[in-house]
Amino acid sequence: MKQETYNRLMKFRDDRDWSQFHTGENLAKSLVIEAGELLEVFQYGKQEKSIDKVKEELADVFMYAMLMADRYHLDIDEIINEKMDSNEKKYPADMVKGSSKKYNEYKNK
């Protein structure tokens, strides 16, 4: 993510004095609502109406995730890389390649 994008979102929020409403709970609710709107694009097995609608809803999801990370002073790159480290240990490529099973469904080799 570019720093300019992050700064633009924070400026938008701050110019409107909306951070007062951005509690963890409110941001989590908003994130789930926006994710639901993204899912709605694919409701009933239909193909997405347009890539523009997917982009619009996905942008909302990303923005609320960024706002939540900011609320808790989290570095997005750092937390993603920490999670990737964990995922790489849970899902070794040689063991899980081509499978969608959860990590606890695999037998140790």
**Domain of residue 61, CATH code:** 1.10.287.1080
The torsion of the CA quartet 61, 63, 67, 68, rounded to 10 degrees, works out to 20
Q: Is the pLDDT of residue 3 over 80?
A: yes
Using alpha carbons, list the distances in angstroms from residue 65 to 12, 31, 45, 98, 109: 15, 7, 26, 29, 37
Domain extent, residue 73, equals 3-97
- Domain assignment present for residue 56? The answer is yes
Q: Which residue has the tokens 């639901």?
A: 36
- Domain assignment present for residue 23? The answer is yes
In this prediction, residues 81-94 reach a mean pLDDT of 94
- Domain assignment present for residue 22? The answer is yes
In this prediction, residues 54-77 reach a mean pLDDT of 97
- Domain assignment present for residue 82? The answer is yes
- Domain assignment present for residue 72? The answer is yes
Q: Is the pLDDT of residue 45 over 80?
A: no
Structural domains in the chain (count): 1
In this prediction, residues 8-23 reach a mean pLDDT of 98
Q: Is the pLDDT of residue 80 over 80?
A: yes
- Domain assignment present for residue 48? The answer is yes
Quick one: pLDDT at residue 47? Answer: 65
Q: What is the DSSP string of 63-83?
A: HHHHHHHHHTT--HHHHHHHH
- Domain assignment present for residue 28? The answer is yes
Q: Is the pLDDT of residue 109 over 50?
A: no
